[in-house]
Amino acid sequence: MSKFRFKALEIAQSRQAVAVAAPADRVADFFGSNTFNNEVMRALLSPEAYIKVTEAIQTNGTIDRSIADEVAGAMKSWATSKGATHYTHWFQPLTGETAEKHDAFFDITSDGKAMEKFKGSALVQQEPDASSFPSGGLRNTFEARGYTGWDPSSPAFLMDNGAGGKTLCIPSVFISYTGEALDYKTPLLKSLNALDRAATSVCQFFDRSITKVTPTLGPEQEYFVVDRALFYARPDLVLAGRTVFGHQPARGQQLEDHYFGSIPPRVNAFMVDFEFESMKLGMPVRTRHNEVAPGQFEVAPTFEEVNLAIDHNALLMDLMEKIAERHNLKVLFHEKPFAGINGSGKHNNWSMGTNTGVNLLAPTTKPKENLRFLTFLVNVVKAVHDNADLLRASIASAGNEYRLGANEAPPAIMSIFLGDTLTKALGDLETKSEILLNKGDNVYYKLGLTRIPSLMRDNTDRNRTSPFAFTGNKFEFRAVGSSANSASTMTVLNTIVANQLNQFKTDLDNRLARGEKKELAIVDILKEYYAQAKRILFEGNGYSDEWVEEAARRGLSNIKSSPDALAVYVQPESLALFERTGVMSHAEVESRYEIELEKYIKTVQIESRVMGDLAMNHVVSTALKYQHKLSQTARNLVELGMIAEAEPIKDILREISSRVIVIKRQTESMIEARKRANNVEDTADRARLYATDVKDHFDIIRYEVDKLEQIVDDEDWPLIKYRELLFVK
Ligand code: ADP
Ligand code: MG
């Protein structure tokens, strides 16, 4: 009997929901209480420093040394008064996790006394030991210096270390001494600036009072929850974050009764707990619900400025992992932890807001504003059309590869859903022939723009199978992986839209210089763009096979493997695009490409090792023991003269043998494939071998193992089964 599995099941089944107390009666009483927010700054800083800091935040400006000293002093006294003993620059290196290096607030004076100290210089800049973070060749290990720099636009916050102490975390960028970005945040901030500049100058054609455009993001986060004891009884979950084996349960997702059903009490307690903690950290987490698969859930915050939303998402993921421990649960952020069951995404809801309070992707009742709306809408469509492969590259990862195009996930084909009304409006705009204006004609009326108010947000007009869907007043990019840091995707999206808007401005300026009427010129350009880009629009079922065929006919790419998808980053057009918009230099893009490939290789390598180990040491050995038991039974039957009765048992014995043989041979040949791949110098070639030669074995081995799971006595099976993992009470 499999002792480990049954022990774990016993533990999991005996657990109760952990009670969670509200920090205060009203959310307003604790929301943001663990952040160094505006209110705290206003109270603790001199009026002069307060104004300078808020100004710098709004304009992405710099903060001079004397102000930095004052802010550092205020941060220190605020943090220590709330129990903080350490501070750290909190940053997002390209490993994909967040990083921190804690320093104590106190220092030893020359006469050996301890004193608390935190200077402006330490706030503004730190030098972590950067050698252990990936740099994709930008920084050799012996030139391991890189530094982190304070990002004032994201508020500092207090993190509980668990053991009582707290740490003041200062959101930061991470760059090399030669100025290259070593993190996700730096290019993101640059892309936000690029988009602000481009969008603002386009807004100027419509409304002179618009001087700033802020991209906004609301990331819906999907995840699975499993019991902690069961998690540790599955080495594949522990090491690879996903199950490499497991037969689908009889009662799976088919019933779909889990979606919007009631949340299990233990999971509910966990959610309430991390929501409280998130709110203390100023994160506006708002919705919680069950997702499609059993054991799968979603959390969504109210949207914020993109940089802040991404910091908050990274922090939320950290927090969820920590708080899950208190509830004896484990959160799985992997895109596809269970085969045959819905995967997890991070739906990036994205739009752009102006300093005048306008959402540029919201249709309005005023024709003039609708021309502006259409301008932004069509430019986004054109940007996505022209750069679909780059957008696809931005979501490439080993985990997402299992999800894209599998059950209930958008395929690797980029397409846009706009909804009936909008598609029709754009069609009308395109087919409307030359418009002649007589004096006194209302230009908007003639352009058909007075009809657009009927576009007003319609919630029934939804398509949940589109990777990039317009949802009334924003776009939802649904193909982003659940474990991803959204910064890569947002950097690409901001950059391609910025680039497109710059192009639009140039096109419009040219027409205006020729003396064309502004509104007509805009409509003409939009018509042109629409005609060039409309093949990317798709309203049907994005999960269907017909769409894959149709997309191929339309000439849209369907790049399935991550190494192929990532290669788009370093194509000359992509490099030029990043350079032109000032978002990344060639060296920075190339280093990122290298790092992503390395990550891919490592991930597949780990999966492959775990698979080989489990297959041989757990599955085959168990199957052979079971076979031995059965052969005793068969022999006994024969001895008793029950020859015919022994036959079916012999069939099972043969089946076990044949499956064991396939598993053994395939495992050996997979190891050989790994060896061959590891001998390949070029990273891209090596990654491609992992994506093909190594990975090709996965499904074959898995198939046989999952069949054995159905044959071998349940009592003996060593791995926690899907039905046990997926149903948390
Ligand atoms: P649903 O998609 O279920 O209708 P919502 O429309 O309320 O839910 O929003 C889903 C996510 O989109 C939320 O995180 C929300 O804050 C975000 N969102 C709403 N408006 C915007 C916007 N203008 N920019 C970015 N995200 C937005
Ligand atoms: Mg969702």
Residue 288 bridge partners (DSSP): 299
Residue range(s) in the chain whose domain bears CATH number 3.30.590.10: 192-598
Burial class (CB in 10 A: 0-12, 13-18, 19+), 435: middle
Cα separation, 720 vs 560, in Å, equals 31
Instruction: Give the integer Cα–Cα distance in Å for 646 and 622.
Output: 22
497 touches 383 (CB < 8 A): yes
ipTM score here? 0.96
351 CA distance to ligand 1 centroid (A)? 9
Q: Cβ(361)–Cβ(501) under 8 Å?
A: no
Say which amino acid occupies 43: A
- Residue 338 contacts residue 726 (beta carbons within 8 Å): yes
Q: Give 302 Cα–ligand 1 centroid separation in angstroms.
A: 7
pLDDT tier for residue 255 given thresholds of 50, 70 and 90: very low
Q: In this model, does residue 61 exceed pLDDT 50?
A: yes
**Lowest-pLDDT choice from 37-41, 409-413, 683-687:** 409-413
CA dist 406 and 410 (Å) reads: 8
The CATH 3.10.20.70 domain(s) of the chain lie at 31-183
Counting from 1 in the atom list of ligand 1, the atom nearest the Cα of 473 is 23
The response to whether residue 136 sits with its C-beta less than 6 Å from ligand 1 reads no
- Residue 141 pLDDT exceeds 60: no
For residue 193 and ligand 1, the question of a CB distance below 6 A is answered with no
User: In this model, does residue 367 exceed pLDDT 90?
Assistant: no
Mean pLDDT of the 563-588 span: 97
pLDDT at 409: 67
For residue 220, which atom of ligand 1 is closest to its CA? Answer: 14
Instruction: Give residues with Cβ within 8 angstroms of 567, minimum separation 6.
Output: 393, 593, 684
- Ligand at minimal distance from the CA of 464 is 2
Indicate if the pLDDT at residue 5 is higher than 90.
Answer: yes
User: Tens digits of per-residue pLDDT, 494-535?
Assistant: 999 999 999 999 999 999 999 999 998 999 999 999 999 999
**Alpha-carbon distance 315 to 278, whole Å?**
9
Cβ(299) to ligand 1 under 6 A?
no
**Predicted model pTM:** 0.94
Name, in order, each residue with C-beta under 8 angstroms of 379's C-beta and a sequence gap of 6 or more: 202, 497, 500, 501, 504, 529
pLDDT(292) > 90? no
CATH class, domain 192-598, is alpha beta
- Which whole number is the average pLDDT over 593-603? 96
Strand (E) or helix (H) holding 244: none
717: its two tokens: 């099976």
Ligand nearest to the CA of 309: 1
Do the Cβ atoms of 210 and 357 come closer than 8 Å? Answer: no
Q: Minimum mean pLDDT among 67-81, 93-107, 191-205, 353-367: which range?
A: 93-107
Higher pLDDT, 485 or 110: 485
Please return the burial class of 209, using the count of CB atoms within 10 Å of its CB with bins 0-12, 13-18 and 19+: exposed
Superfamily of domain 31-183 in CATH is Glutamine synthetase, N-terminal domain (3.10.20.70)
Least confident of 51-60, 79-88, 181-190: 51-60
pLDDT tens-digit series, residues 416-456: 999 888 888 888 888 875 666 666 666 676 666 665 555 55
Kindly state if the Cβ of 148 falls inside 6 Å of ligand 1.
no
**Is the pLDDT confidence value at 140 over 80?**
no
What separation in Å is there between the alpha carbon of 303 and the centre of ligand 2?
14
Task: Give the residue, out of 349, 360, 373, with the most ligand 1 atoms within 8 A of its beta carbon, to mutate for a pocket test.
Answer: 349
287 lines ligand 1 (CB under 6 A): no
**Residues with C-beta atoms within 5 A of ion ligand 2:** 220, 347
- Residue whose C-alpha is closest to residue 454's, from 570, 555, 367, 332: 367
The CA 5 to ligand 1 mean position distance, Å, reads: 42
Atom of ligand 1 nearest to the CA of 218: 14
Residue 332's alpha-carbon distances to 243, 270, 297, 338, in angstroms, are 11, 14, 10, 10
Torsion of CA 443, 446, 448, 451, to 10 degrees: 80
